[in-house]
């Protein structure tokens, strides 16, 4: 049975984007990018909200030619392209990546069946979508990459009015000051 995992870059004060919708403040140096690439290897399906999909679809056309970009970025693009992608949106009319379909509504029973039938893990991207999965008791793990910045406002990475108990499974400190926190949801 697959795990449903929420991986997210987050500011120290809990935001995944600033008040203007910007995520460029997050640090993605070579060490952090290599971590994210390794993290993606066992993922078979990505569940995205529309805005998260629109920011990630870049990897569909990112050059795979040797020398055009660093090896770790080419690898990430190959991993991303190979995975299934479900985009949850009521407004998106078409997708611009292969192995991608649009879902109009988040159905917890569909996700339960997906977890039971999948051999590879599943990630969920976008705080609203992840919040729905958390509220439905579907989330198994959280991977937070806490960036050394305080934004003071924006879009929260974790939903309000939700209570979950977590067990810390691991942590890692990167040279750039980012800290990875790996939690398991306690049922």
Q: Residue 17: how many CB atoms within 10 A of its CB?
A: 22
C-alpha span between 145 and 139 (Å, rounded): 17
Predicted pLDDT of residue 123: 98
Could you read off the pLDDT of 105-132 as tens digits, one per residue? 999 999 999 999 999 999 999 999 999 9
Q: Are 185 and 138 in contact (CB under 8 A)?
A: no
The domain total for the chain is 1
pTM of the model: 0.95
Domain of 59: which CATH number?
3.40.430.10
Could you read off the pLDDT of 6-31 as tens digits, one per residue? 999 999 999 999 999 999 999 989 99
H or E element at residue 97: none
C-alpha span between 9 and 142 (Å, rounded): 11
Closest by CA to 145, choosing from 37, 52, 26, is: 26
Could you read off the pLDDT of 35-86 as tens digits, one per residue? 999 999 999 999 999 999 999 999 999 876 666 788 888 999 999 999 999 9
- Mean pLDDT computed over every residue of the chain: 95
C-alpha span between 81 and 100 (Å, rounded): 10
User: 121 is in which domain, residue-wise?
Assistant: 4-186
């Amino acid at each position: 049975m697959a795990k449903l995992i929420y991986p997210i870059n987050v500011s120290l004060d809990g935001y995944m984007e600033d008040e203007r919708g910007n995520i460029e403040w997050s640090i993605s140096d070579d060490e952090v990018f290599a971590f994210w690439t390794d993290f993606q290897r066992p993922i078979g399906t990505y569940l995205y909200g529309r805005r998260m999909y629109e920011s990630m679809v870049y990897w569909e056309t990112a050059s795979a030619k040797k020398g055009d970009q660093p090896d770790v970025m080419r690898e990430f693009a190959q991993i991303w392209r190979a995975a299934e992608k479900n985009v949850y949106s009521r407004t998106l009319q078409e997708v611009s990546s292969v192995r991608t379909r649009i879902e109009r509504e988040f159905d917890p029973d569909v996700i339960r069946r997906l977890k039971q039938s999948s051999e590879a893990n599943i990630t969920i991207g976008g705080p609203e979508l992840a919040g729905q999965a958390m509220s439905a008791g579907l989330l198994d793990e959280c991977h937070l990459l806490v960036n050394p910045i305080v934004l003071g406002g924006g879009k929260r990475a974790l939903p309000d009015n939700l209570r979950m108990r977590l067990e810390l499974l691991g942590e890692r400190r990167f040279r750039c000051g980012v800290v990875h926190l790996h939690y398991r949801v306690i049922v």
